[in-house]
Amino acid sequence: MSKPKVILTRKWPDEAEKKAKELFDAVLNEDDHKMSIEELKEAMCNADALCPTVSDFQINSDVFGVENLKCKIVANFGVGYNNIDTNAAKEAGIVVTNTPDVLTDCTADIAMVLLLSVARRIGEGERLVRNKEWSGWCPTHMLSTKVTGKKLGFIGFGRIAQAVAQKAHFGFGMQISFYDPYPPSDEIVKKFSATKFNVLEDVLKDSDFVTLHCPGGGENTNLLNNDRFALMKNSAFLINTARGDVVDENALVQALKNNVIAGAGLDVYAKEPTVTEELLGMDNVVLIPHLGSATTETRVAMGLRSLENVKAFFDGKEPGDRVA
């Protein structure tokens, strides 16, 4: 029996691509180009399974609605799947999966990197040294914000958020609070001695640092806007490792320029890879290029998890990470 044909929309780590070729008739993206809408449509007609990523064009009703549709499963390479219109997938009879769990720790690490970096002015300081502008130590040079013991508020308190809380609470003695419409068990709340707020705004008012861990798109688009930035302490920092469209970047620029908040650490952006121009010149912002899951171990694990879902499907089993 011939193997199912699987198309990977971007280049994967070697170990994951090797596994793809072992399990399936795998078509690789050797030059790692961003596939066009037409290429995605063609893939839907030629492949039994498609493995896309968050950086692809939106896989929507236009793509799912092609004539001679062959694809049966879209196995996303990533935990977030707002790059896929799941309702359109359901209408087309296509299964959608993601890759949770395997990127939890590394994304949580990046959230802490951003938090520490923006609070302690690490990016600004490194640029000073690299540009040979540092004149030496003095008592008032580059005074910054202490992290240990401060209040850390979460918007969304799922797996990645809890991994951040683990590091922040037990490593830095930070006081944890959160808002989540689907809150975790009382046992988890008790573990972190966390305060559970019933409305998002209360987290913003209470926190020294606000970290975002909610899905993008839909009602969460521009969740952090002018009105909500106004509720934050003017000494507070925003951390975003979730999805870029959760933050109104123009509102963020104004909040930073007008000292409504003290700073921000961003790993994701509303229109990647484009970043709002004014953010680029701000010293009180740390900007990194969507590195949350960017370790070799994690990216390999993401690829393998995606392939596990495809294999389960074609083995006649329910994929473990099905989201549609």
Active-site annotation, residues: 243, 272, 290
Reply yes or no: is the peptide bond before residue 100 cis, omega within 30 of 0.
no
CA dist 95 → 43, 76, 286 (Å): 16, 11, 38
Q: Are 309 and 20 in contact (CB under 8 A)?
A: no
Where would I find the H helices in the chain? 14-23, 37-46, 61-64, 86-92, 104-119, 122-130, 159-172, 186-191, 200-206, 226-229, 249-257, 277-280, 296-314
**Dihedral-angle region of residue 258 (phi above 0 means left; psi in -120 to 50 means alpha; beta otherwise):** alpha
**Residue of 79, 3, 66 lying closest to 39 (CA atoms):** 66
**Phi, psi (rounded to 5 degrees) for 219:** -65, -15
Contact 223, 247 (CB under 8 A): yes
Closest CA to 200 of 175, 174, 179, 169: 179
